[in-house]
A = this chain, B = another copy of it.
Amino acid sequence: MDKLKLTSQLKRLIIDVNGIKIGENLIVIAGPCSVENEKQIVETAIAVKQAGAHLLRGGAFKPRTSPYSFQGLGLNGLKLLETAKKETGLPIVTEVVDTRDVDTVCKYADVLQIGSRNMENYSLLKEVGRIKKTVILKRGKQATLFEWLNSAEYILAEGNPQVILCERGIRTFETYTRNTLDLSIVPAVKESTHLPIIVDPSHGVGKLSLIPPMCLAAVAAGADGLMIEVHCDPSSAVSDKDQQLTPKMFRNLMDRIRRLQTVFLNG
């Protein structure tokens, strides 16, 4: 197997997204699974901003197991994210799933996300390797650390050094949770690469009650950030109903995260 070259540099990477320093302080990315309509995305954006989130997430292109499931609003979804950004100032994180959409998504997003299903879509990785925007690369559902870093290597090799890794749970035999969030990957990433690592407990566990403790555990494990699904009205959501926090739950969680951070900041 060919060796890793660009993903294991000595100096830890700090990425600046509109003034937010990722890799320096804990950052929180929050927002709904899918962008559904203007009211939904703007209300949610305002709520997560007030609670202390640093970036807004929202899916416009949704990779779904069935072709008959909601596939996202596409370009309209991107435009609604732009509106939410204007209202709140929050930078936008959104997924891209097709090489031909990369340019368009770049016009609206501050950070492009490669989802777990596309971690081995090398054409797409090369394409986002040629842009000037930060890329969040989610770990594939069964990817090893080595395979994941190789996927990051594809992006770096094309000239884009701004890559953030995101753990989102791997597939195991446990059925109680949607996936198994692998928090030991956080210190493993820290000692293997200079790239920042964030954790997405929402997809990792897929169960509302388990998200807050896993957020705290991710912070304690040393994560550089969290990605959390929040929806202004989860019961009406078109996707991922069971794992989106209400704004109130999110505020409480942010309070607990801040309290936990004091231990690490002071130590």
Binding site for B on A (CB under 8 A): 1-3, 5, 63-69, 97-100, 117-118, 120-123, 126, 141-147, 150, 153-154, 157, 170-177, 180-188, 191-192, 204-205, 207, 209-210, 213-214, 216-222, 256, 259-260, 262-263, 267
Query: Would B2 and A176 count as touching, CB distance under 8 A?
Result: no
Q: How far is the CB of A209 from chain B (nearest CB, A)?
A: 6
Q: Which of B126, B191, B217 contacts A220 (CB 8 A)?
A: B217
| In the bound complex, CA of A205 to CA of B117 (Å) | 24
Interface centre among A205, A210, A218 (most CB of B within 10 A): A210
Shortest distance from the beta carbon of A204 to any chain B beta carbon, whole Å: 7
The residue that A142 contacts in the complex, of B64, B141, B154, with Cβ under 8 A, is: B141
Pair A65/B180 contact, Cβ less than 8 Å: no
- Please determine whether B173 and A142 come into contact, CB atoms closer than 8 angstroms: yes
A191 in complex: contacting residue of B3, B147, B185, B209, CB < 8 Å: B209
**For A262, what are the chain B residues with a Cβ–Cβ distance below 8 Å?**
263
Closest to A215 in B: B220
Contact with A188, one of B150, B176, B263 (Cβ below 8 angstroms):
B176
Q: How far is the CA of A204 from the CA of B185 in the complex (A)?
A: 12
A214 engages B221 (CB within 8 Å)? yes
**A168 CA to B21 CA, complexed, in Å:** 35
A171 to B123, CA, bound (A): 23
In the assembled complex, the CB of A202 is this many whole angstroms from the nearest CB of chain B, namely: 12
Q: List 5 A-B contacts (CB under 8 A).
A: A2-B66, A2-B68, A171-B173, A259-B267, A260-B263
Using A173-B173, A184-B210 as known contacts, list a sample of 13 further A-B pairs with CB atoms less than 8 Å apart, ordered by residue number in A: A67-B126, A67-B154, A118-B121, A143-B173, A144-B173, A145-B174, A146-B175, A176-B192, A181-B182, A183-B217, A187-B214, A217-B221, A259-B267
Q: Do residues A122 and B147 form an inter-chain contact, with CB atoms below 8 A?
A: no
CB distance from A245 to the nearest CB of B (A): 15
